[in-house]
A and B are shown apart, each in its own frame.
Chain A
């Protein structure tokens, strides 16, 4: 039996405002519990919400970036349910009339083709607080610092057909919101969270299967794992004659499994109605146009420009534009070097990316700045240092030993380009290897490599390899 998977994602992005969506409390992460929960966030009797301008601007920015409709009039509603991390007993969210609707993004598939993923809507809402269980016996502690943090919930169409596609889409949105500077994308701190609606159906079937909603999947890796687990679970269930139940399931990353969340099943009659404490949000066309003018170059456009302008492969261009910071870094390197975009790309995606990855650092935290890296690449280009030794120079720069010139000077890694010096080394090598010399001259061409190796070794890798080649050929020929 052939099965097809259908996936839609709901991504919650915390917007990078200073204050909360409906109150003047700070949104900074990591404060002591309940010290950033004001009367409005606590749902105290008598206090009222007032909407944050910046949250609206950021939502509009996202809408414009995905080519969506920005609603002239959108409405905040109350989603009613009882939960200890939800102080008012309702969440203020947008229901029937969201601020953003009908947009899309393109994702790149493994075969190099791209696919359009529809975005049904993106709406503004308030985040809930947190329940803490550790260190308590039989009770939980409630921290409402996060309550009221602005969220933009981005809801996709059920357009994805595999866990890989879901991850590609999630990465795309992740990159986009950071490009737009509306979300820091920090998944550990929960600034970027994802729920996945997963169902399977027989290939060719027009109707969608019953879906399960997977919660709490907060890394790209876990999204893939959780969805794959869930697909397998649903197929096994259906092939065994069972039925998928529409429910909310929690992904447990330690056990790599999803399990039913009974607590969320209880209250699914949310009794949405327009929040009478808030008036309709009216967004004038002039506001949208003003926001449009602030849009940075977006990932797709940047990628295309990189590919064309820097003659990079589509793959390289897409890696280099994965984040705005990386793209900016790369462009700064190219500019400082004064060309050689391919060589610069190799360095950024090679040594630099490997070092960042190894030390778990963001590009913005790189100890080697774009100017410093460019300095090294220039030394490679002007033959001051060989490509091979340049890697050692890079490591030294990474370790904080100074810029390329300082490291090269201090460690004596300067390339030997003086022909007479190289000739001298060659002469010495030929002198101590008479047998090989005879062999070479007798027709054993393969021994050429042996001589190159010996000369490089004798020069401690510093001799310019091209010159070594040329000079050796001449000298060996006798």
Chain B
């Protein structure tokens, strides 16, 4: 499995990562190496194997429908890069 620089750019865009043009080749090389390595899994016989998503066979626990949170906007927004009138500010969202 080998990734081309264009494929790397597509993945980087999907993952919203700006990658410098000068680094694309290196990422292509490294990612290809990783994908080649994990491609060994192909050889494993997994017929009739149930996929495993969690280490423990447990069921989801449910919480009761109670409002337990209070307004802590000011505290939480101390980490925000840009706020105005209690809103998080981002470049214009075009729909």
Contacts and interface: CB of A to CB of B under 8 A. Distances in A.
B87 A132 contact: yes
Contacts of B50: none
A139 B84 CA distance: 11
Interface string A28-69: 000011111111001010000011111110000000000000
Given A34-B77, A141-B85, A133 B63 contact: no
Given A18-B66, A274-B53, A276-B53, A33 B16 contact: no
B69 A34 contact: no
A84 B71 contact: no
B67 A37 contact: no
Given A84-B88, A140-B93, A142-B87, A38 B58 contact: no
B63 A140 contact: no
Contacts of B76: 34, 37, 39, 42, 44
Given A39-B76, A54-B65, A280 B16 contact: no
Contacts of B56: 279
A23 B72 CA distance: 14
A51 B88 contact: no
A84 B63 contact: no
A117 interface: no
A136 B56 CA distance: 49
B88 A24 contact: no
B71 A36 contact: yes
B24 to A, nearest CB: 20
Given A19-B65, A131-B93, A34 B87 contact: yes
Contact of B95 (A34, A37, A138, A261): A261
Given A139-B92, A141-B88, A278 B67 contact: no
A168 interface: no
B1 interface: no
B45 to A, nearest CB: 23
A281 interface: yes
Interface in B50-95: 53-54, 56, 58-69, 71-73, 76-77, 84-95
A245 interface: no
A35 B66 contact: no
Most chain A CB inside 10 Å of its own CB: which residue of B16, B66, B73, B84: B73
Contacts of A132: 87
B62 A51 contact: yes
A139 B16 CA distance: 20
Nearest to A52: B65
Most chain A CB inside 10 Å of its own CB: which residue of B60, B64, B73, B93: B60
B14 interface: yes
Interface residues of A, number: 54
Nearest to B58: A279
A35 B69 CA distance: 10
Contacts of A85: 93
B83 to A, nearest CB: 8
Given A34-B87, A141-B87, A51 B93 contact: no
A51 B54 contact: no
Contact of B67 (A19, A139, A143, A264): A19
B60 A141 contact: no
Nearest to A82: B16
Nearest to A275: B53
Contacts of B77: 34
A144 B90 CA distance: 13
Contacts of A142: 87-90
A25 B69 contact: yes
A139 B85 CA distance: 13
A55 B89 CA distance: 31
Contacts of A39: 76
28 contacts: A19-B65, A24-B63, A34-B86, A35-B73, A37-B73, A37-B76, A38-B72, A39-B76, A50-B63, A52-B63, A52-B65, A53-B62, A53-B65, A54-B65, A56-B62, A75-B53, A76-B60, A84-B88, A131-B90, A131-B95, A133-B92, A133-B93, A141-B87, A250-B95, A276-B54, A279-B56, A279-B60, A282-B59
Interface of A: 17-19, 23-26, 32-39, 42, 44, 50-56, 75-76, 82, 84-85, 131-133, 136, 138-144, 250, 261-264, 267, 269, 274, 276, 278-282
